[in-house]
Every structure is written in structure tokens, then in C-alpha cells.
């Protein structure tokens, strides 16, 4: 018998409740289009029931490749509602990478924005529905919805630990890994975001953060849980954002510094007459940015996490007494990643043998996490899962110090991931690409500091005897073969790369030189 | 192997996290005493480890009988921390009722406030620790803590559905029933309270609502989750509350109208310079009270629930457009119980065959609930549990209409519970008590409206031939045998009670007369 006192946790339930409580409230704004919560739910029901009609088996994957437009929000609810698994693909990837993800996830269907169709050139033998983002009849996506029913769809969830989505990350190896989220984890992470960002039914959330990033840090579910308004954004343009702050009365948004810095420095930047709360992730806010935010009436929360932790896992909780300190001090305190949020576990920082390092703010170790908001594992990759979960904790591969007050602060990255504008770039992947250039003998790629992007890749290259290549040729070669943002910002040619006695390239030394004078080794 | 991505949900974890994040923040205020979060946790660890040393078996019950003082908060965390089950007893009960609860729950130990020791007169052969509420050495409770260790205590929780507490309610029969809460349900209900009341680390929560009521509606855990400050209150006195609003900068409190009305009408009532959010439960706010709150800068949230639903289960979510309506209209809308909160399920209103009644705001039916924030069942009472859970839903026994917008509104109570000042009074119990009076032949007790208490019991009595009794004698007789607040407010003698053809007393008719001219049949 089903238990009266147990319902399987799923964030899909938030839409059902908000549509019930606030049917006529605006749920989604997209330019001139507006959907009430009732309309939002009906569109989700249509999509869900139409998918169900297709006869997909429970647990099969459905891919989405689109910007922050209503269909992406709808897919985030409709796909899991009928027991399917959402694969929201990064729109900045190359066609080859998209092909890999569609194939690896064995997605049965792809919904693609008309501006991104060329990214599907390698995808074959699979149903594709084009989204023209008109909201009108004749738009293939809208016609697909029209074939479904707006009536309530019964959830087929049997166990809250079932997979709700797979989010592909480029980790330390060349191939992306599929991070599996559960209904339970997504539900709990979303509630924490609602609490930490102090959202409520008056919230107008601006979609600056891509929904394909960790399912938008679980904010599609969090904003819906508190019956806030989602304000969509096809393209992140600072001028447009300033306009929406006023015209839509935006109260909350999330973004990496790549978005925040141009926003704060934009010619339309001005003190807002209402406070806006922003969560910044990917890299900490600089003192300059903090000062700018203050004058703009933007309150800043620093979050940290990985794809493997549903996005935000730690929060640098503000202590009221810090507000008395000089701004430089405040920025220093807020630059720290903090500790696990309210539904996460507390993070630890450990040495190679998984012993806690001293909380002295100096010793370095690896941040490890566990708890309900850690991924279930990597899809179809037991080996990588086993490695990531070694010793019963998830290994972030981020190197941090542990402060006496228990807050962690990231100082470096264990492996070779470069985080540029919030996007992960695998240095190994860039190296392998460069190495395919006929003139190249060996390549090492490291991150260099970049004011706008946080970090960018730089390549150190040795050329084969008798061959020649220019910096621009190497960069262009990369842009042809992998996503453009992964191409190195610069290329330095040398006779030899620094190596250990066993012949391993000492990338540490290369990076050290580039980051001289900076306190951290990550941007 | 333990899962990296699963931690059993327990609200006890909130204390650990807040003590970690905010060790020096004030967690508890009690008069001149203040405990930081670190001290709060250390005291909880001491109590927990001391209890553990006693060798209690997992799942055994530990009772507390005390007002809203720090030990009650500490017990709410320490008892479940070591796998024991908290039984927080209503301090307004009679010694006989307390004895019944201690025995029925088979509590192994009682912590009792020195002012309430006489309520334990019937309790024998059980360890009792007296709380003198001094916070100092020599206070038996403090000495008990001193025998424990402040070091971190490992949780022994194996399954989040284990029982965290048993809260006794007087339902419709004479004997209280033990409502079992789970760790999972308490965790989820607490998160919902934090969200619905918009609490955060700046929250100063005033303990007007008894912690023995549904574990204080789960607020001991909710306030701790967001690292707010608990402001204790030994006695609910309006003058004192007005003083604390200012001196402690109170931001939130919960109470029934019995507390709210004298508070709003107190001579010290004045417009606060900061907004205070209050949740009102037990009965809806009147238009008068709403108007008063507005002028006092108190914002009012109407919640509804039962002991069986961890306290608040539904919330009358405010729609911003209602703020434009005349206050009478606002009060009417806010008087409704609303719908399930963010972690609860949606409530239904059904007829005798459990079919949904029409959403017409007129037809009456029973409110039923299900989901994670419904009790596990009644302790050691399978029959009552089975009855309450008939058809896979929890039966509230509250009679309501269902409005076109989905909100439910309580209109009457199915059985014979009288809710007076937020306390349940079983009319059957009062009837049985009166019937024990040697002069009484038969008694029927119904609720009558009362401005201050919402409802109070009134007795209709027939006297045996040749016997005599006065109203005062009956009232005094009740006060001697059951809790004083359960004694009837008045007694009406008559020759005969109205009965059905089968001889059942038609209490409906008695009540109808008393409530004439009132829209609802509950206060």
C-alpha cells in the first residue's frame, strides 16, 4: 500500500502547486509573450503528454539545444514529468561535441532552436523538433505541443532517486561526462536556492544563467517553487539586462563574473530604485565589482559548486559584522567559497590520503563533498564514477585552503580544467587538438588570468623540425575543430617544454609564470 | 556501501550546519542569558551524550514538560540526535493527563520545569530531571548537562522515516493520541516554514507559540536552519512581547488569535519601525485584527493544520491584487485556510464516499491530506491510525467548503473537538467528566463562540431525579478532574436533550443555537 505520509520528492511537483495556487499569475515573460502559471502548466502538460504518446520507455533521454527561452523551461518540467530524462546541451559546443553527447546519452529526440540547427549536422536518425521561438501556430515546436493535451498528467515517478536529467560537463579528459541528477537531489537543491536567495512570490528572476548549465543551477524549479516570475533572455546583452531590471522589476539573477563585469561597467548602469539580489558563481567577485554593485543597489551572494553538485553547493554566508569592515576586507571574506548550503552537506578539504588538512588558511588540499545534492554518478561510466566517489566522497579536483572559521577557499585546480566565462575547458582537449596540427610536436595548455573571462587558455607549443606555424594558424586550427571559446587566447612557441625527470610536462611551472603576482591560481 | 549522494534527512543537521557557519552568532536569547550557536550546539551535544551514556535503546521515548525555555529547544535537537524520541507534553494538562501520556508513550525519563513538578504527581518509577531555568551550576538540568560532553555527537539515524517525536493530541475521544513525526517530515516541514515566512539569518523569532504544540510547528528546526535567533518566552504576556519587539528587534512570531487579539489591543501596542511577520493559526484573523496589524506594521500569514500534519499544512497564499480590495474583502479572502504549503501535498475536500465535492464555495465536505508532512500514524494505536488513514488519505475531520480558486475554508468540525485558545478540547472528555458527577444524568458539550478564545465549551446537562447541582458545582467539578481550561464556560440545565430517533444526542442542534448569526461554526 502506498504510504499516506510519503510522496516521492520531485521538483516537478512545484509547478503543479504554483499553477494551482496562482493560476493567473505571470509565470514566464519572454519579450512581449507572457504565460500565466496555468498556461505554463498546460504547455508542460501538452509537451509531456505528446512525449508520452510517442511511446518512449521510462528513463529514456530527450535532448534540448536552445537558449533561455520558454521551451527550455517547459522541457525542464515536461520531460521528467513522464519519466524521461532531460539532456540540456550547452549551445556553445561544436557540432562534433553535440553529436558525441546526443550519441553517448542515446537521446531519442532533440528539440533544437532554429539558430542552432547547424550544431546538429552530425546527428542522424533521430527525431528533431525545431523551435522557432515564435510561440505561434506553424512553429514546429508549437505544433508539437498542439498534438498533446493540456490536461493534468499523472507523475510516473516510483522512486525519488530516479534520474531527472543528465548534464554533460567537460572535465579533465577530452570527452564530456554525463552527470546524473536525481529528482530528490534537484528538489532539495532547489529549495535551498529559494531560501539562500530569499526568493518569494514577488520574485522576478532574470534568466542570465544558461538553463543548460546544471539545469540553470536548479533555478527553473526553485523559482517555480515560490511561484516567482521567470523572465527569459535569448541573448545575454548588458544593455538589455539594464532595460529589463526596470521594465520587468527584476529582483534576482545569477551569473558568472564574465556577465557581471560588463553589466556593472555598461553605460546604462545606474543605481536601481529597488534592490536586486544576484548570485555570482564560477569565480569570486572582485573588490571593484563589489563596490560597483553597492552603488548600483545590487546585493551579491557568492556561490560555488560544480556540475556534479547541481551547481551551487557552498555559499559564502555573510556575517552581519563584516558590513563594518573596509570594502577590501569584505571582498576578501566574500571571495571565499564558504560552506555547504542548507540542504547540502558540509564540505571538507583533505590531503592525498583523505585526511582533513589543518584549518589554517594556508595548507592546501582538495575540496570533497557528499550528501543529497551530489550527483548520482556519471552516465554509462562506472570507472569515472568510481574514481570521483573514491572513499565515499565526491572529489571536486579543486584545490583549496581551509580557513579557521571553516570556510573553504579555492586556490587552484587539481587537474587541467580552465574555467572561462563560466564554461569548463579541458586543457587536455585543447592540447590534443593542437597536437593534431601537422607542424606541432608537443603542446601544453594552461589557464592565464583574464579580466573579462576569469581565465583563458594559453598554449605552449614546440614545432617539429623543418615545420612552421604561426600563432594565428594554431588558433584558427582550434576554432575549426573544437568550440571557438576553447581556442587559446595566445600561443607561445619554444624549443622545449619544462619536464619532470620522468618526462611529464610541468604545467605547474608554466602556469606559475602566467599567474605571477596573483593571490590565487584560478580566475 | 553508503551512498555518496544520499544523506538521511533530519532537521537535527540544521543545528550542526548553523553552528559551523555562525559559531558566534546569537542562537538563543532568554532574558539576560544568551547562547551563541556554538554554545547551543555544545549544550545539545552535552544533553545528547549524557542521554546516550544512560544506555537508552534506540527509539525509546524521553519526555519534556516545560515552557518555551532553552532546555526545550535543546531537547528538540538532543533527543533525536541520539536516536531517541521526544515527547513534549502540553503544560496546560492535568496531572492525570500527564500521567497517561508518560505511561502511554512509555517514556523512560522526564525533564520537568520546577514550576510544573506538581503535574508529575502521578508519575512513578522514572528518572526525573528538574529544570530550574537558572542556566547555572546547581540547577539539576545544568548539572545533568555538565555530565555530558560538548564534543560532536555522531548521528545514529539509519532511515529518515524513523520517528523523531510523538506529540499527544486530544482528539475526538477522551484519551490523547500520540502523533508520530518522522525525521524526514520534520525536515521538509521546517524548510517550508522558512520559505513561507521568508526567514533568513537576520530573523529574530519570538517564541510565543508553545514548543509542545506540534514541536512548535517545527519552528525550532526552521529557525535554526536559517541560523536565526530564538527569543525564548517563559510566559506569554502582551506587555512583555511589545517590549521584546523593540529590545530584541523581533522579526517573526506565530500565535493563535487568543494571543494575537490581546496583543493588538494592549496599551503598549504601537506602530513598529520595522515590519514583523506573524503566522496566525488555530483560527483566521478577523477584519478588525487585520486592520490593527496593518497600523502596527505587522504582516499576517494565515496557516492551518493539525497536530497530525506537523502543525501548518496549508497556507492562505496572498495574491498581490488582493491588496487593492477593501479590508473586509481582504479579511474574507485571508480567512480561508488556502492550500498545501510548498513541501506539503495539495489538500482535497471530499464527501462521505471520498469523492471530491464541487469547488463552489458552498458544498461542505471533509478536508483530507497526504504527503511527506502528514504524520506516520498514532503511536501504539493501529486502529486509530487505520481509521485516520482510510482510503490512503489523512482525514482531518474538519468540515470545509472548496472555493473555485482551489482554496479550502474550514466551516465546521466533524466530530466534537472544541478549539479554545489554540488548545484542543475533546467535548467527549468533558461530557464524560461531567457525567461522573453524582447528580448528573446526561451531558452534552458543544463549542460556543468566544471573542478571546475563539471557542469555549458549554455544557447542556440533565439532572437525575431527586438530585441537585448548580452551574458552579459542575464547573468546579470539571476543574478538579481535568485541565482547567477544559471546564465549561457555562452550564445550561434542561429536562431533556434533543435526540435522534435512535437516541443519539443531536449536538448539531445545540451548537446551531449558540452560533446563530455567525458565518462559520468554528471560532
State the DSSP H helix or E strand holding residue A56, giving kind and residue range, or none if neither: none
Which residue in B348, B294, B364, B327 sits closest to B522, CA to CA? B364
In this prediction, residue A222 carries a pLDDT of 98
- B440-450 and B454-463 beta bridge pairing: antiparallel
Asked if residues B277 and B301 have their Cβ atoms less than 8 Å apart, the reply is yes
Q: What are the φ/ψ torsions at residue B101 (nearest 5 degrees)?
A: -65, -45
CB contact, 8 Å: B1 with chain A? yes
d(CA B360, CA B355): 15
Residues 6+ apart with CB under 8 A from A501: none
The mean-pLDDT minimum among A215-219, B13-17, B206-210, B290-294 falls in B290-294
Q: How many angstroms separate the CA of residue A389 from the nearest CA in chain B?
A: 7
Q: List chain A residues with CB under 8 Å of B340.
A: 17
| pLDDT reading at B99 higher than 70 | yes
Q: Which three cell numbers stand for residue A115?
A: 539558430
Nearest to A185 among B5, B161, B191 (CB): B5
Question: What letter does residue B233 receive in the DSSP assignment?
Answer: B
In this prediction, residue B413 carries a pLDDT of 67
| pLDDT reading at B293 higher than 60 | yes
CB contact, 8 Å: B346 with chain A? yes
Q: List chain A residues with CB under 8 Å of B17.
A: 339-340, 342, 346
Q: List chain A residues with CB under 8 Å of B346.
A: 16-17, 20
CB contact, 8 Å: A339 with chain B? yes
Q: List chain A residues with CB under 8 Å of B20.
A: 339, 346, 406
Nearest to A7 among B319, B371, B405 (CB): B371
CB contact, 8 Å: B14 with chain A? yes
Which residue in B425, B439, B435 sits closest to B487, CA to CA? B425
Q: What is the largest CA-CA distance in chain B?
A: 77
**What part of B 129-188 touches A (C-beta under 8 Å)?**
161, 182, 184-185
Q: How many angstroms separate the CA of residue A406 from the nearest CA in chain B?
A: 7
- The pLDDT of B205-222, averaged and rounded, is 97
pLDDT in tens, B467-501: 899 999 999 999 998 888 899 999 999 888 887 65
Per the CB < 8 Å rule, is B372 touching A9?
Answer: yes
Q: How many angstroms separate the CA of residue B21 from the nearest CA in chain A?
A: 7
Asked if residues A248 and A228 have their Cβ atoms less than 8 Å apart, the reply is no
- The pLDDT of B43-68, averaged and rounded, is 98
Residue with the bigger pLDDT between B282 and A503: it is B282
pLDDT in tens, chain A (523 residues): 468 999 999 999 999 999 999 999 999 999 999 999 999 999 999 999 999 999 999 999 999 999 999 999 999 999 999 999 999 999 989 899 999 999 999 999 999 999 999 999 999 899 999 999 999 999 999 999 999 999 999 989 999 999 999 999 864 456 789 999 999 999 999 999 999 999 999 999 999 999 999 999 999 999 999 999 999 999 999 999 999 999 999 999 999 877 898 899 999 999 999 999 999 987 778 778 888 998 999 999 999 999 999 999 999 999 999 999 988 889 889 989 999 999 999 999 999 899 999 999 988 899 999 999 999 999 999 999 999 999 999 999 888 899 999 999 987 666 567 888 877 787 877 887 888 898 988 888 888 888 888 889 999 998 988 889 999 999 999 999 888 989 999 999 988 888 765 566 777 778 878 877 777 766 6
Asked if residues B222 and B248 have their Cβ atoms less than 8 Å apart, the reply is no
**What part of B 364-383 touches A (C-beta under 8 Å)?**
370-372, 374-377
Which residue in A313, A403, A417, A399 sits closest to A351, CA to CA? A399
- The half-sphere exposure of A99 on its side-chain side, counting CA atoms within 13 A, is 13
| pLDDT reading at B370 higher than 60 | yes
Q: Look over chain B and give the mean of its residue pLDDT values, rounded to a whole number.
A: 92
- Work out the burial of residue B229: count CB atoms within 10 Å of its CB; fewer than 13 is exposed, 13-18 middle, 19 or more buried: buried
CB contact, 8 Å: B240 with chain A? no
Q: How many angstroms separate the CA of residue B249 from the nearest CA in chain A?
A: 15
Asked if residues A30 and A70 have their Cβ atoms less than 8 Å apart, the reply is yes
d(CA B410, CA A224): 28
- The half-sphere exposure of A512 on its side-chain side, counting CA atoms within 13 A, is 5
Q: Which three cell numbers stand for residue B225?
A: 536552519
CB contact, 8 Å: A7 with chain B? yes
Write out B131-157 in H/E/C secondary structure: ECCCCCCCCHHHHHHHCCCCCCCCCCC
- B348-350 and B364-369 beta bridge pairing: antiparallel
Residue with the bigger pLDDT between B421 and A270: it is A270
d(CA B506, CA B523): 20
d(CA A523, CA A515): 9
- The pLDDT of B192-215, averaged and rounded, is 97
Q: Which three cell numbers stand for residue A398?
A: 579543486
Which residue in A368, A333, A408, A365 sits closest to B20, CA to CA? A408
In this prediction, residue A1 carries a pLDDT of 43
**Chain A residue with Cα closest to B194:** A195
Which of A21, A24, A179 to mutate to probe the B interface, most B CBs <10 Å? A21
Sketch out chain A's domains with CATH numbers: 1-25+35-181 (3.40.50.12780), 345-413 (2.30.38.10), 417-514 (3.30.300.30)
**Chain B residue with Cα closest to A347:** B17
The mean-pLDDT minimum among A127-136, B12-21, B104-113, B473-482 falls in B473-482
Distances B437 to B33, B94, B317, B416, B482 between C-alpha atoms, Å? 48, 18, 47, 21, 13
- The half-sphere exposure of B9 on its side-chain side, counting CA atoms within 13 A, is 24
DSSP codes of every residue in B306-334: EGGGTEEEEE-PPPGGGGGS-HHHHHHHH
The predicted model scores a pTM of: 0.87
Per the CB < 8 Å rule, is A17 touching B317?
Answer: no
Q: How many angstroms separate the CA of residue B149 from the nearest CA in chain A?
A: 22
Which residue in A280, A11, A197, A252 sits closest to B198, CA to CA? A197
Per the CB < 8 Å rule, is B14 touching A372?
Answer: no
Nearest to A5 among B191, B374, B405 (CB): B374
Asked if residues A204 and A249 have their Cβ atoms less than 8 Å apart, the reply is yes
Q: How many angstroms separate the CA of residue B58 from the nearest CA in chain A?
A: 22
ipTM given for this complex: 0.87
Q: List chain B residues with CB under 8 Å of A22.
A: 317, 319
pLDDT in tens, B116-163: 999 999 998 999 999 999 999 999 999 999 999 999 999 899 999 999
Per the CB < 8 Å rule, is A161 touching B200?
Answer: no
Nearest to A195 among B4, B195, B376 (CB): B195
CB contact, 8 Å: A202 with chain B? yes
| pLDDT reading at B454 higher than 90 | no
Per the CB < 8 Å rule, is A200 touching B200?
Answer: no
- The half-sphere exposure of B358 on its side-chain side, counting CA atoms within 13 A, is 4
Q: List chain B residues with CB under 8 Å of A349.
A: none
| pLDDT reading at B265 higher than 60 | yes
Task: Say which residue the cell 570521483 belongs to.
Answer: A388
Which residue in B159, B203, B208 sits closest to B185, CA to CA? B159
- The half-sphere exposure of A466 on its side-chain side, counting CA atoms within 13 A, is 0
CB contact, 8 Å: B324 with chain A? no
**Chain B residue with Cα closest to A160:** B6
Q: Which three cell numbers stand for residue B142?
A: 545544568
Helix axes A257-264, A287-296, angle to 10 degrees: 50
Per the CB < 8 Å rule, is B5 touching A339?
Answer: no
- The half-sphere exposure of B270 on its side-chain side, counting CA atoms within 13 A, is 10
Per the CB < 8 Å rule, is B318 touching A201?
Answer: yes
Task: Say which residue the cell 551535544 belongs to.
Answer: B45
Give CA torsion, residues B299, B304, B307, B309, to 10 deg.
-110
Nearest to B4 among A318, A342, A393 (CB): A393
Asked if residues B408 and B339 have their Cβ atoms less than 8 Å apart, the reply is yes
From edge to edge, which strands make up the β-sheet containing A440-450? A440-450, A454-463, A490-493
**Chain A residue with Cα closest to B197:** A200
Please tell me whether residue B268 adopts helix, strand or coil conformation. coil
Asked if residues A229 and A250 have their Cβ atoms less than 8 Å apart, the reply is no
In this prediction, residue A441 carries a pLDDT of 81
Amino acid at each position: 500500500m502506498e504510504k499516506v505520509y510519503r510522496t516521492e520528492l520531485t521538483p516537478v511537483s512545484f509547478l503543479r502547486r504554483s499553477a494551482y495556487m496562482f493560476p493567473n499569475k505571470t509565470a514566464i515573460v519572454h519579450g512581449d509573450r507572457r504565460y500565466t502559471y496555468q498556461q505554463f502548466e498546460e504547455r508542460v502538460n501538452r509537451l509531456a503528454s505528446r512525449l508520452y504518446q510517442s511511446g518512449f520507455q521510462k528513463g529514456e533521454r530527450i535532448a534540448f539545444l536552445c537558449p533561455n527561452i520558454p521551451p527550455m523551461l517547459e522541457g525542464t518540467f515536461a520531460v521528467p514529468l513522464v519519466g524521461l530524462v532531460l539532456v540540456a546541451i550547452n549551445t556553445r559546443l561544436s557540432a562534433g561535441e553535440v553529436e558525441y553527447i546526443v550519441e553517448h546519452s542515446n537521446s531519442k529526440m532533440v528539440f533544437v532552436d532554429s539558430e542552432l540547427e547547424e550544431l546538429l549536422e552530425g546527428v542522424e536518425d533521430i527525431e528533431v523538433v525545431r523551435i522557432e521561438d515564435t510561440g505561434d501556430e506553424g512553429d514546429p515546436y508549437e505544433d508539437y505541443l498542439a498534438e498533446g493535451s493540456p490536461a493534468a498528467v499523472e507523475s510516473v515517478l516510483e522512486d525519488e532517486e530516479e534520474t531527472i536529467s543528465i548534464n554533460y560537463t567537460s572535465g579533465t579528459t577530452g570527452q564530456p561526462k554525463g552527470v546524473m541528477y536525481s529528482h530528490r537531489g534537484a528538489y532539495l537543491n532547489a529549495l535551498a536556492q529559494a531560501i539562500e536567495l530569499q526568493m518569494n512570490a514577488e520574485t522576478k528572476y532574470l534568466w542570465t544563467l544558461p538553463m543548460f548549465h546544471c539545469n540553470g543551477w536548479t533555478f527553473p524549479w526553485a523559482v517555480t517553487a515560490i511561484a516567482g516570475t521567470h523572465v527569459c533572455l535569448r541573448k545575454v546583452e548588458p544593455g538589455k539586462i539594464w532595460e529589463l531590471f526596470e521594465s520587468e522589476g527584476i529582483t534576482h539573477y545569477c551569473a558568472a563574473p564574465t556577465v557581471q563585469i560588463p553589466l556593472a561597467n555598461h553605460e546604462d548602469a545606474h543605481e536601481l530604485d529597488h534592490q536586486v539580489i544576484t548570485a555570482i558563481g564560477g569565480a569570486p567577485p572582485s573588490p571593484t565589482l563589489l563596490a560597483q554593485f553597492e552603488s548600483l543597489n545590487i546585493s551579491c551572494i557568492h556561490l560555488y559548486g560544480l556540475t556534479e553538485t547541481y551547481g551551487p553547493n557552498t555559499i559564502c554566508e555573510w556575517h552581519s559584522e563584516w558590513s563594518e569592515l573596509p570594502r577590501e576586507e569584505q571582498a576578501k571574506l566574500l571571495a571565499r567559497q564558504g560552506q555547504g548550503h542548507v540542504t547540502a552537506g558540509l564540505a571538507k578539504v583533505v590531503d592525498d590520503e583523505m585526511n582533513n588538512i589543518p584549518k589554517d588558511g594556508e595548507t592546501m588540499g582538495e575540496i570533497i563533498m557528499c550528501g543529497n545534492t551530489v550527483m548520482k554518478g556519471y552516465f554509462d561510466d562506472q570507472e569515472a564514477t568510481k574514481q570521483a566517489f573514491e572513499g565515499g566522497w565526491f572529489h571536486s579536483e579543486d584545490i583549496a585552503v581551509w580557513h579557521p572559521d571553516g570556510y573553504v577557499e579555492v586556490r587552484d585546480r587539481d587537474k587541467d580544467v580552465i574555467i572561462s566565462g563560466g564554461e569548463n575547458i579541458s586543457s587536455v582537449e585543447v592540447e590534443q587538438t593542437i597536437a593534431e596540427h601537422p607542424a606541432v610536436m608537443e603542446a601544453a595548455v594552461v589557464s592565464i588570468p583574464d579580466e573579462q573571462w576569469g581565465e583563458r587558455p594559453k598554449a605552449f607549443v614546440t614545432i617539429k623540425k623543418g615545420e612552421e606555424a604561426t600563432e594565428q594558424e594554431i588558433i584558427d586550427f582550434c576554432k575549426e575543430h573544437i568550440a571557438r571559446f576553447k581556442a587559446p587566447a595566445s600561443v607561445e612557441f619554444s624549443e622545449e617544454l619544462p619536464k619532470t625527470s620522468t618526462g611529464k610536462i610541468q604545467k605547474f611551472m608554466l602556469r606559475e609564470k602566467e599567474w605571477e603576482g596573483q593571490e590565487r591560481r584560478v580566475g
